[in-house]
Amino acid sequence: MSACTSSAGFRVDEVTLPSTGTLTSFATAWVPRTGLLCPYVLGQVDIGAGAMVFAHIRGLPDDAGTPVAVRLALNPNRPPDRASGSNTRSSQPNKKDHPMSENVPEAAVAEYKRGFACVDGEFVPAATASVSIFDHSFLYGDGVFETIICRGGRLFALRPHLDRLWASCQYLQITPPYDQEQITAFITELAKRNELSDGYVRVVISRGEGYPVSDPRKALKSKLVISMQGAPAVTRPPDVGVKLAIASTRRTPPICLEPRVKSNNYLNHIVAKLEAIAAGADDAIMLDLEGNVAELPVANIFARHGDTLATPPSNGILAGITRETILRLVAEGAAGPGLRVVQRVMTAYDLFTAAEVFIVGTGSGVAFVESIDGRRIGDGTMGPATKRLMDAYTELLGRDGAEPDLQLTTKEA
């Protein structure tokens, strides 16, 4: 292995560097740096003959001390398990080996581990925050969650999200470990520590730790985890439509698991999404047991025929907060004069024959549907009602203090 052959313009002798060394000291860096997953470890490596190099250390065990034998590599993109020493373990998966890795932006993967998380009221580095391996949410999906959008330092519809979280807890007979005011205070403090301006807040309540069986009575103390993820205001170019596929996997009916509960068990949604990915689509449309349109894995759906917008009724789906907001915006005339909205049973026919179809959700915002099962919807571009509602929704997210019940200022006044 050789490095540079000139330094500050002076010619230097070229020598072959060893490919191993001894890590003599290291520190964990929390300051984000392009291309490095934060936090990352920097260390001083003794390479013999009195020479030291300063290197990015990967795969170091959490309990590592010094000295540690390490392998040196100049290629920073080399997978960590091959670049690190034999007495170290890899802490990062090799993304390139993953069949769906091209769909995960590198920056997003790094982003969610930055900053702090809140676990039962304690503020801890997000990358090392942990819950018990005996936690019922980890073992059985026995918990609930909410994802809340933050724009310009403001949390949108915090109260409705917390109310839905409470309803989910109530249905599953989980007693929240803190009240809504305490959770709001934790979110506010965490947003301040993370300097969150644009992104998402995730609030998770698990039934808590309990083992060795799924009996909910084994878990005596519920657990709260709050995490945050920075994300730009626009993630999908507005002129790029969503390609959907109708999944054969049906949305869980209320007789199996009430779909209005936002539980930590998303396998129904994930299996449908896997089908859509296999079909070359971006996302799945899930039908109910009767074959009527229900929703997407994490979004609701609307279709326009003439001056009528339609969306499936709120029982049988997760009645999204964005969906509620859109219903209200349409009622206020934001989708255009004369346009009305109805909640009614819909089939695939209603989607294929629509002038425009769009999806709504905290993650997706308002996005137009370009095709379903390869069939173009409308003329395949964004329709006028979608455009107006997308603009109105974006404006509402950024509106300052207009609706105190819907918005919370996370920045200090």
Residues at the contact surface with ligand PLP, assessed by CB under 6 A:
147, 269, 295, 298-300, 318, 320-323, 361-362
In the complex with ligand PLP, the residue whose CB is nearer, 70 or 149, is 149
In the complex with ligand PLP, the residue whose CB is nearer, 204 or 321, is 321
Beta strands in 49-171 (DSSP E): 51-57, 68-71, 116-119, 122-125, 143-151, 154-156
Record the tokens describing residue 329, joined without a space. 């915006």
In the complex with ligand PLP, the residue whose CB is nearer, 208 or 320, is 320
In the complex with ligand PLP, the residue whose CB is nearer, 120 or 163, is 163
In the complex with ligand PLP, the residue whose CB is nearer, 213 or 234, is 234
Q: Which of 268, 328, 327, 337 is nearest to 296 (CA)?
A: 268
In the complex with ligand PLP, the residue whose CB is nearer, 60 or 318, is 318
Q: How far is the CB of 220 from ligand PLP (least distance, A)?
A: 28
In the complex with ligand PLP, the residue whose CB is nearer, 327 or 382, is 327
Q: How far is the CB of 348 from ligand PLP (least distance, A)?
A: 18
Q: How far is the CB of 328 from ligand PLP (least distance, A)?
A: 13
Nearest residue by C-beta to ligand PLP?
A: 320
Strand ranges across the sheet with 20-29: 51-57, 40-48, 20-29, 68-71
Provide the β-strand partners of residue 242. Answer: 369
Residue keyed to tokens 């080996």: 97
> What is the helix, strand, coil percentage profile of the chain, to 5?
25, 30, 45
Ramachandran quadrant class, 130 (left: phi over 0; alpha: psi -120 to 50; beta: rest) = beta
Q: Which of 220, 202, 243, 17 is nearest to 119 (CA)?
A: 202
The count of other CB atoms within 10 Å of the CB of residue 64 is 16
Q: How far is the CB of 299 from ligand PLP (least distance, A)?
A: 5
Q: How far is the CB of 269 from ligand PLP (least distance, A)?
A: 6
Q: How far is the CB of 20 from ligand PLP (least distance, A)?
A: 48
Provide the β-strand partners of residue 43. Answer: 26, 55
The count of other CB atoms within 10 Å of the CB of residue 222 is 22
In the complex with ligand PLP, the residue whose CB is nearer, 156 or 186, is 156
Q: How far is the CB of 303 from ligand PLP (least distance, A)?
A: 16
Helix (H, G, I), strand (E, B) or coil at 56: strand
Please check whether residue 208 is in contact with residue 136, taking contact to mean a CB–CB distance below 8 angstroms. yes
Please check whether residue 227 is in contact with residue 191, taking contact to mean a CB–CB distance below 8 angstroms. no
Q: How far is the CB of 295 from ligand PLP (least distance, A)?
A: 5
